[in-house]
Amino acid sequence: YIILSEFTPQTGNQLLEHVQKLMKQGIVGLIIDERNNSGGAVDGALQSANIFLEEGKTLVTIQGKKGTMRDQRYISTGNAEVPANLPIVILTNTGSASSAEIFAAAMKDNGRATLIGTKTFGKGIVQDVFRFGSGFAQVTTAHYYTPNGENIHKLGIEPDILVEDVQLSDEEIPAFEQLMTDKVISSYVQENPEPSEENIRRFAKLYAERGIDEEVLTLLVRNEYLSKMPYDKRPIADATFDKQLNRAVQFIRTGQ
């Protein structure tokens, strides 16, 4: 399991290093978490895709406005660093944008990864910033196209397997606000400081009568427990209550 929280010029090398370490451990599948990755360096996304794809695969095509000379197709080079039979899942949501979408589309369209989660944000444009008078101007100069030739701007990328985010409905907001006002969650965590699955599930059952879904209550109290932990002691992933992650694990184990 690897989280890609953003793309930098170093992401490709860092990702390769971690993947190689995991390969030595004999992994049978890889989950790459791009949820809430708002993008970053395009080169980092292209280098990352290059790790998994054989030479000659289209990664992304950039088509510029007439006269800008920005048209360019990027293809993978060299041999893939990971065996083709190793299943890969990429987790996405509406916070996955820009370079994160370039990576996800390159992997999905080339048949190298299965996307699980919700539709991505839909930022498929290149923008240049330059001085204009006493300030700056930002101008769209090109569009990204996926390997399948799709322009995802304002559309996003649909996952192969849809697993909705857990979220409050409009009807639950008043009950949630009252829960916060009454400091119910923090009081419960103070009285039950052990962040066990049993304590988390018990909280959800105790307060479901307030009109909030148990799944939402579970995540609220889990997050409160996490906030009380030193940062370096927090678990990398939530293998119990993260249903998108759990669906990814199920897919890797069963192929479905």
Residue 194, domain member (yes or no): yes
- Among candidate residues 131, 149, 165, the one where a domain is terminated: 165
In the block, which residue shows the tokens 């857990």?
A: 166
Inter-residue contact 228 to 247 (CB < 8 Å)? no
- Among candidate residues 148, 165, 182, the one where a domain is terminated: 165
Helix (H, G, I), strand (E, B) or coil at 31: strand
Tell me: do 154 and 223 sit in the same domain: no
Q: State the pLDDT at residue 67.
A: 61
Residue 241, domain member (yes or no): no
Q: State the pLDDT at residue 69.
A: 60
Buried residues in 53-88 as b, exposed as e (16+ CB within 10 A) = beeebbbbbbeeeeeeeeeeebebeeebebeeebbb
Residue 80, domain member (yes or no): yes
Q: State the pLDDT at residue 68.
A: 62
Tell me: do 190 and 93 sit in the same domain: no
Taking 90 as the threshold, does the pLDDT of residue 65 lie above it?
no
Q: State the pLDDT at residue 132.
A: 87
Find the largest Cα–Cα distance for the chain: 66
Tell me: do 16 and 96 sit in the same domain: yes
What CATH number is associated with residue 55?
3.90.226.10
Tell me: do 131 and 187 sit in the same domain: no
Each residue's pLDDT tens digit, 17-58: 999 999 999 999 999 999 999 999 999 999 999 999 999 999
Inter-residue contact 61 to 149 (CB < 8 Å)? yes
Tell me: do 47 and 96 sit in the same domain: yes
What is the percent of the chain where pLDDT is above 70?
98
| Catalytic annotation present for 123 | yes
Inter-residue contact 99 to 230 (CB < 8 Å)? no
Q: Could you give the number of structural domains in the chain?
A: 2
Tell me: do 15 and 77 sit in the same domain: yes
pLDDT confidence tier of residue 149, bands split at 50, 70 and 90: very high
Q: Which of 33, 98, 99, 108 is catalytic?
A: 98
Q: State the pLDDT at residue 141.
A: 82
- Among candidate residues 121, 147, 165, the one where a domain is terminated: 165
Residue 84, domain member (yes or no): yes
Average pLDDT over residues 3-13: 97
Residue 254, domain member (yes or no): no
Tell me: do 117 and 77 sit in the same domain: yes
Tell me: do 152 and 174 sit in the same domain: no
According to DSSP, the β-strands at 125-132 and 135-145 are antiparallel
| Catalytic annotation present for 43 | no
**pTM as predicted:** 0.92
Question: Could you list the residue range(s) of the whole structural domain that residue 208 is in?
Answer: 170-233
Taking 70 as the threshold, does the pLDDT of residue 15 lie above it?
yes
Each residue's pLDDT tens digit, 84-118: 999 999 999 999 999 999 999 999 999 999 999 99
Tell me: do 158 and 223 sit in the same domain: no
Tell me: do 147 and 185 sit in the same domain: no
Tell me: do 133 and 221 sit in the same domain: no
Q: What is the Cα–Cα distance from 205 to 162, expressed in whole angstroms? A: 27
Q: Which of 33, 76, 108, 109 is catalytic?
A: 109
Taking 90 as the threshold, does the pLDDT of residue 127 lie above it?
no
pLDDT confidence tier of residue 128, bands split at 50, 70 and 90: confident
Each residue's pLDDT tens digit, 224-236: 999 999 999 999 9
CA distances from 163 to 59, 75, 86 (A): 26, 31, 22
Tell me: do 38 and 81 sit in the same domain: yes
Q: State the pLDDT at residue 177.
A: 96
Residue 253, domain member (yes or no): no
| Catalytic annotation present for 5 | no
Taking 70 as the threshold, does the pLDDT of residue 6 lie above it?
yes
Residue 64, domain member (yes or no): yes
Residue 100, domain member (yes or no): yes
Q: Which of 96, 108, 123, 242 is catalytic?
A: 123
